[in-house]
Amino acid sequence: MKTILYNHNPEQSQLIRDIRRLERDVLRMGALVEKSFRLSHQALFARDLTASKELPLLDKKIDRFYKQIELDCTLIMTHQSPTDRDLRCLSAFMQLVRDLERIGDYAEDLGNISVKLFSYPPHPLMPEIAMMSHHAQAMLATSLVALGDLDEANGRNIKHLDDAVDNAYERVYNALAQQRDVPGLLEPFLLLGLAIRCLERMADHATNIGQRVAYIVTGQRS
């Protein structure tokens, strides 16, 4: 993924170097979150318990990036002399890494759900939930490409992609809620309800990332 190309004065000041380092760190954090999402998908739909065990360690790495980037942004704001555009970029980074951190948290939640679902047979709705996961992962990937390219249009368009995830959430939720005379335990139905909620929220955070990219470029909030 390309480093964010952010137009500064060509003079190689410490401020410029620090912001470019932050840009790289944000994209590295994004790559870890993408990996976390892929592992959660593998755990939930391929019933891969090995993948679920990798998620807590990966989440710790994501959290370290999140805390360090937040701290670095704060230090630049308070100890250097960023321009208004620099401040806009730093502010967006602080919000954006929060979105990434939350997606990582939801991925770990999905891993935990997969462990609890392992002892139950796959539900007939799993293929539709898997498509929901694929779509949310594609939204995250698109948002990170928009960030890497500072592509305002691509960032804003992600908001429209979220409709497919929201619609899938409604369909699956209604199908689960309307089932009658369910044999056995209710736990798998409750767990699937939690899983689709995690996926819906992950898509929302990917949408937020796209909106923050547009804000970095234009200075306007949608």
Report yes or no on 99 lying in a domain: yes
Distance CA 57, CA 36 (A): 10
CA distance 110 to 103: 11
pTM (2 decimals)?
A: 0.91
Report d(CA 43, CA 112) in Å as an integer.
Answer: 9
What pLDDT was estimated at residue 83? 85
Question: Would you state the structure tokens that stand for residue 217, as one six-digit string?
Answer: 């470029």
Instruction: Fill in the DSSP letter of residue 186.
Output: S
Q: What is the DSSP letter of 219?
A: S
CATH number at residue 151: 1.20.58.220
The residue whose two tokens read 């293929």 is: 127
Q: Is residue 1 part of a domain?
A: no
Domain count, the chain: 1
Report if residue 9 sits inside a domain: no
49 part of a folded domain: yes
Give a yes or no: residue 195 inside a domain: yes
For residue 146, tell me if it sits in a domain: yes
- What is the rounded CA–CA span in Å between residue 105 and residue 63? 9
Question: Residue 12: is its pLDDT beyond 50?
Answer: no
pLDDT per residue over 58-100, tens digit each?
999 999 999 999 999 999 998 888 888 889 999 999 999 999 9
- pLDDT single digits (tens) 90-127: 999 999 999 999 999 999 999 999 999 999 999 999 99
The answer to whether residue 2 is domain-embedded is: no
Q: What is the pLDDT of residue 159?
A: 87
Range of the domain at 180: 14-218
Tokens describing residue 70: 């937040």
Task: Please report whether residue 117 resides in a domain.
Answer: yes
